[in-house]
Amino acid sequence: VIDTPPALGVALVNAVLAAAELGGGVLIPCTPEPQVVEGLGKLLATLGDIRQALRKDVPVLGVGLTKVEKQVRVARELEADLR
Question: How far is residue 62 CA from its own chain's centroid?
Answer: 8
Please list the alpha-helical segments (H only) found in 1-83: 10-22, 34-54, 73-82
pLDDT of residue 45: 92
For residues 53 and 42, give the distance between their C-alpha atoms in angstroms, rounded to a whole number: 17
pLDDT of residue 33: 81
Largest CA distance in the chain: 43
Predicted confidence pLDDT, tens digits, the chain (83 residues): 888 888 888 998 899 989 888 888 899 888 878 888 788 888 999 999 988 988 888 899 988 888 877 777 777 777 777 77
Whether the CB-CB separation of 45 and 12 falls below 8 Å is answered with no
User: Considering the entire predicted model, what is its pTM?
Assistant: 0.75
